[in-house]
Copies of this chain bind each other. A is one copy, B any other.
Amino acid sequence: MLEQLKDEFVKHVRGLQDEITAKMHEIDAKLELQEDLWEREDYESNPGGGGITRAFTGDIFENAGVNTSVVHGAISPEFAKKIGSSDARMWASGISLIIHPKNPKVPTCHANFRMIQAGDKFWFGGGADLTPFYPIEEDFEYFHGVWKEACDPYGIYQEFKDKCDDYFVNKHRNNEMRGVGGIFFDHYNTGDTEADFKMVKDLSNQFIRSYFPIVEKRLNEKFDSEDEDFQLHRRGRYVEFNLLHDRGTMFGLQSNGRTDSILISLPARVKYSYRYAPKKGSAHEKMMEYYFPKAWV
C-alpha cells in the first residue's frame, strides 16, 4: 500500500511540475527553460534516485526553479542520528519551486510538497509562502484566502499558517519574516496515510490558483529604482534565510544532494548595504511592518 502511494506521489508531483511549467510559459513569452535530468549516488555509492531540475530565466520571471526528485538509499549514520531515525535508509520525493519575478510589484513565491520515509518513520511536509516587496494588501489577502479555503476542509489553516509564521523567520534580523507567510507543515502523519496523502495532493493542487493570478494582475505595473532597490535588499534577506536557517537547504546539502538544484532558490540579483533601511514614509517602510505575523483573512 505504502509502495503504491509512493508511486502515486511521484506521478503527482511530476504532473504538477508540468502544469506549473506550462503556466509560466503562458505568462512569460520570453521564458527560457534549462532542464537537467540528474542521477544521484547514495551514501554507499549505490544508485540513489535523481530528479528533474527546471531552471527558468525570462522577462517576467527573472529566475525560477521548479524541481522534482525521488531520492532513496543509505544515509550516513550521523545524518540518520540527526533526523532521529533508527536505521540508515531513506526515501523521499517532492516538488520544490521558487519564482523570483523581475518587477518588484510582483511577489516572489516558494512552495514545496514532499513525502519522506526515513527508517521506520514516515511523513509529509510542505507549504507555500509569499514574499512581496510592495504593500499591496489585497494580494496578500488573496494568497492567504486561497490557502485558507484549501485548508478549511481539514481544519488546519490556522495551525499551518502559524507554523509558516514561525518558520520563515530571520532570527538574526529582529525576527523579521522573509515575507508575509502562507502555510507550512512538517512531519505530518495522522496515522491515516491515505487521508494524509489526499490532503497533500489537494493542497498542492491549489498552488497555481494561489499565486499566478497575482502575477497576471501586477506584471505590467510601473516601478522605479527605489522599488527595485528595496526588492534587491529584501532578496538579500531571502538569501540570508535560505543559507542560515532553512532546514530544506541544510537537508539537501548534507544528504549529498545536487547543489545546483538546491541553490536554484537564490535570486539572480541581490544587494547588501550596511544597516539598510527604506526611506522614511515610503511604501517600502510600510511594507516592513508586514514582515511580521498578521491575520490576512
Contact = CB atoms under 8 A, between A and B. Distances in A.
Interface in A206-239: 236, 239
A253 B244 contact: yes
A274 to B, nearest CB: 4
A273 B63 contact: yes
Q: Chain A interface mostly helix, strand, loop or mixed?
A: mixed
A267 interface: yes
Given A34-B274, A266-B272, 15 more contacts: A34-B275, A57-B274, A63-B274, A65-B274, A172-B259, A239-B243, A240-B243, A260-B274, A263-B272, A264-B274, A267-B272, A268-B271, A269-B269, A269-B271, A270-B270
Interface of A: 34, 36, 55, 57, 63, 65, 172-173, 236, 239-240, 243-244, 253, 259-260, 263-264, 266-275
A34 B276 CA distance: 12
A45 B274 CA distance: 26
Copies, count? 2
B173 A236 contact: no
Q: Which among A63, A267, A274, A275 has the greatest number of chain B C-beta atoms within 10 A?
A: A274
Nearest to A276: B260
A268 B270 CA distance: 8
19 contacts: A36-B275, A57-B274, A63-B273, A63-B274, A65-B274, A173-B259, A239-B243, A239-B270, A240-B243, A243-B244, A260-B274, A260-B275, A263-B272, A264-B274, A268-B271, A268-B272, A269-B269, A269-B271, A270-B272
- Counting from the closest, the 5 A-B pairs by CB-CB distance are A243-B243, A55-B274, A266-B272, A270-B270, A172-B253
Nearest to A243: B243
A268 B263 contact: no
Given A244-B253, A270-B269, A275 B55 contact: yes
Contacts of A273: 57, 63, 268
A259 B34 CA distance: 37
A260 B173 CA distance: 9
A272 B239 CA distance: 10
A53 B36 CA distance: 45
A278 B274 CA distance: 29
Contacts of A267: 272
A267 B259 CA distance: 22
A1 B173 CA distance: 39
Contacts of A240: 243, 263
A253 B240 CA distance: 12
Contacts of A269: 269-271
Contacts of A57: 273-274
A243 B253 CA distance: 13
A268 B233 CA distance: 10
A180 to B, nearest CB: 22
